[in-house]
Amino acid sequence: MLIKSESFKRLIFDSTFFTYSVWVLIYSVFLIIRWMGFTDLEIDQEWAITHMRILALATILVGGLMLGVSSLLAKMNCVSLGEFLFADPKRKQIVTDIPFFRSFWGPHLLATLFLTFLVSFNVTEVSIYELTDPDGLAGAWRLFKGLANANLELLPTAIVKVIETVFIAFLGTAIAIPISFFLSFICAKNIMIHPVAFFLYFALRTILNVMRSVEPLIWAIIFTVWVGVGPFAGMLALMIHSIASLTKQYSEIVEGVAEGPIDGIRSTGANSIQVIWFAVVPQIVLPYIAFTIYRWDINVRMATVIGLVGGGGIGTLLIKYQGQAMWREVGCIILVIAAVVWLMDTASAYIREALK
């Protein structure tokens, strides 16, 4: 069963990676042809949106072809990247003993990374000319000059707003902690071993992965529409994202606990709750506390960002003065944010060190 499972993972991973490699190769060849002046066609986001159906169909066809290629490589005992990552225990030592530059997966991975780097330069429109443009440099100089000459008359207002930001982060984190603690056991693979429990584990992990993939900034936009602009929307945004993130981190701690105490408690005839309480919880308390403090540290910084879209706190004040190009006021706000982040980072570092 294990061998079949690992083979399936390798097949899916390899076919997906090969499909990606084919696309970046095609895109890179097009870029080279264009740079050499053989075509003036530009493939950008607008072109991709216009031809989305064709691209989707081509991706499916290439994916199917690469699925066949992956199967062929597997029959030829070729050490692909999927084989390197998901090799079954019988082949693990053989696969890892082959130097990467003599294997199939090594040069393939390096070539794909190089092409990705090439494509990334084009997609991000990297331009040394725009970076060194005199008008742009003059604008940047005016900005930094205003930031360096901060208007300290705004300091009392900035302090009040940054305190609001800290409370937004605190409440969002505090509500997320007990919910994440409970969900972390349901999202731990080594706990949910019964078929019904495994289905619940899989469903919840999928939902939380979707929630975690939506950044707090987007959650803040959603909640500003839902409950209105203000700190309540910001707190809800941080709470939702913290639940998804903390559950993942907590569950990975649970999955990493030693199996000995669990087997020992189970051998006494204990039920699942007793196993969790007496065998798992004692092993996870300190890592849980460390991750929670780190999450609060992240939320304090994130609370500033979500304020930019109406989530309350000092971010709202920042976007107000930035929109009016009042750089001296922006400089004062940045000084206050930097001071709070420094204090939080220092305090959390000392607390984490004390918990070791």
Q: Say if residue 2's pLDDT is above 50.
A: no
String of b and e for 227-238 (b: at least 16 CB within 10 Å)? eebbbbbbbbbb
Comparing 157 with 353, which gets the higher pLDDT?
A: 157
Separation of alpha carbons 37 and 33, rounded Å: 7
Report yes or no: 234 and 306 within 8 Å, Cβ to Cβ. yes
> Residue 324 — φ and ψ, nearest 5°?
-100, 10
Amino acid present at 50 = T
Q: Which of 330, 18, 306 is nearest to 147 (CA)?
A: 330
Q: How confident is the model at residue 19 (pLDDT cuts 50, 70, 90)?
A: very high
Average pLDDT score, the chain = 83
> Residue 228 — φ and ψ, nearest 5°?
95, 165
Q: What is the pTM of this model?
A: 0.68
Separation of alpha carbons 73 and 82, rounded Å: 11
pLDDT digits (tens, 9 = 90+) for 126-145: 888 888 888 888 888 887 88
Report yes or no: 67 and 15 within 8 Å, Cβ to Cβ. yes
pLDDT at 98: 78
Average pLDDT over residues 244-273: 81
